Amino acid sequence: MAGPVNRRLVLARAPTGALAAGDFRMDEAPVPEPADGEVLCRTLLISPDPIQRMEMRARTYRGGLQAGDVMGGFTLSEVVDGGGTDLAPGTIVSCQAGWQEYAAVPAEEVVPVTVRGPLTHHLSVLGMNGLTAYFGLLDVGRPQPGETVVVSAAAGATGNVAGQLARIHGYRVVGVTGSDEKNRMLVDELGFDAAVNRRSETFAADLRAACPEGIDVYFDNVGGPVLDACLLRMRPHGRVVCCGVLSQYDSDAPAAGPRAVPGLVISQRLRVEGFVVLDFADRWAEAAEQLAGWVESGELRVLEEVDEGLEAAPAALVDVLAGRNVGKRIVRVAEARAPAERRPDGASRSA
């Protein structure tokens, strides 16, 4: 192969059942030549997101993925060649470059990032997960003073931020995870009021004890039995924020629907509402600004786990699908150039 090489992770086969790292293989291709209207980006950080497991089945709003395709996904990237845009080489951008070292990305899908703090924050608390937690809790859940918020997958990338935002706003917050160790962390380090282990045989009773007044807002990242259990504890006029279905992404067997729908939804006057963070794009900057402020004041702790090297991405995704992560899992593919080189306008020098 002549010229510079682009290492890429492609889907080796359509996964069946639980995803395995072996469902992917590394290949090499020439670094792409950006066409008109494209920006050549170098991948710095990859975001392995559970929803990607759904994309492989072509059942979500983002489209499907075939064997042989480069694995997709959100990245933090660095501009190599801005094409016809005014993006200077070295500019840090958010895009969906996928699991590869270089990508030619349509210019309209490349979003310049005003770097604030570590680059990784732009894939966690200031990225899709943080923004999802922000809009899901505050705009969809709309908790009121004195209310109880329950968050599932509460040690996960989105859940930990949703729970902390609830705490910052003064609501009582209860986390649900699959491990006592995570739960101790939520209470001892993140300031949750309580946390419940969904794998415990006493889960329903534990949830009841943790929410003696019932649940006003349930921020649901998982669906399945945890959704069922929380629905039964909802207070009148409670809100269920439908954010994710972690219990289902990695399974071919569709779960039963929640029996409380619609009967209990009527008798308790519940609002069960789904959302997608992309719909709030016009307010991302405003939300990121607030989130960054809470991070800088120390009120919002940032939980991240960083794996090194492109080849770590498949195992990282398998891990987050199985809940083997605390906070945001990130795969570092390359280091950014020094900040001073990155942006000639000085805007990023504070990074």
CB of 311 to a second copy, least distance (A): 31
Task: Tell whether residue 261 is a contact of a second copy (CB under 8 A).
Answer: yes
Q: How far apart are CA 340 and CA 344, in angstroms?
A: 7
The reply on whether position 267 binds a second copy by CB under 8 A is yes
- Residue 60 found at the interface with a second copy (CB under 8 A): yes
Other C-beta atoms lying within 10 Å of the C-beta of residue 85:
16
273 binds a second copy (CB under 8 A): yes
CB of 113 to a second copy, least distance (A): 26
Q: Does residue 298 interact with a second copy by CB under 8 A?
A: no
Footprint (CB under 8 A) of a second copy, residues 173-192: none
Give min distance, CB of 63 to a second copy, in A: 12
Q: Is 163 in the site for a second copy (CB under 8 A)?
A: no
Q: Among 22-30, 81-89, 172-180, 244-252, which window interacts with a second copy (CB under 8 A)?
A: 244-252
DSSP 8-state symbol, 309: S
Query: Could you tell me which stretch among 64-72, 141-149, 247-255, 282-290 binds a second copy (CB under 8 A)?
Result: 247-255
Chain positions 63 to 102 lying near a second copy, rule: CB under 8 A, are none
d(Cα 294, Cα 288) in Å, to the nearest integer? 10
Concatenated DSSP letters of 47-110:
---THHHHHTTT-STT----TTSBP---EEEEEEE-TTSS--TT-EEEE---SBSEEEEEGGG-
Residues contacting residue 16 through CB under 8 Å, at least 6 positions apart: 252
- Please provide residue 259's backbone torsions phi and psi, each rounded to the nearest 5 degrees: -65, -20
Cβ-based nearer residue to a second copy, 187 or 242 = 242
Q: For a second copy, which residue of 274, 293, 309, 344 counts as binding (CB under 8 A)? A: 274
Pick the stretch among 27-35, 91-99, 243-251, 340-348 that binds a second copy (CB under 8 A).
Answer: 243-251
Interface residue with a second copy among 20, 89, 107, 275 (CB under 8 A) is 275
The residue written with tokens 């004041």 in the block is 297
Residues of 249-265 as b/e, b for ≥16 C-beta within 10 angstroms? bbeeeeeeebebeeebb
Q: Residue with structure tokens 């209207």?
A: 37
| Sequence-distant (≥ 6) Cβ neighbours of residue 55 within 8 angstroms | 62, 63, 64, 65, 72
321 lies in the binding site for a second copy (CB under 8 A): no
Yes or no: say if 315 and 157 are a contact pair by the CB < 8 Å rule.
no
Strand partners, 194: 174
255 binds a second copy, rule: CB under 8 A: yes
Cβ 320 vs Cβ 53: under 8 Å: no
Please identify, using beta-carbon distances, which residue of 76 and 137 lies nearer to a second copy. Answer: 137
* 61 near a second copy (CB under 8 A): yes
Is residue 248 at the binding interface for a second copy, with CB under 8 A as the rule?
yes
Q: Is the peptide bond preceding residue 262 cis, with omega within 30 degrees of 0?
A: yes
**263 binds a second copy per the rule CB under 8 A:** yes
Closer to a second copy by Cβ: residue 252 or 296: 252
Asked if 200 is part of the footprint of a second copy (rule: CB under 8 A), the reply reads no
Tell me: does residue 207 bind a second copy (CB under 8 A).
no
Please name every residue paired with 220 in a beta bridge, in sequence order, or none if there are none: 242
220 contributes a contact to a second copy by CB under 8 A: yes
Residues that bind a second copy (CB under 8 A): 59-61, 220, 223, 227, 240, 242-245, 248, 254-276, 279
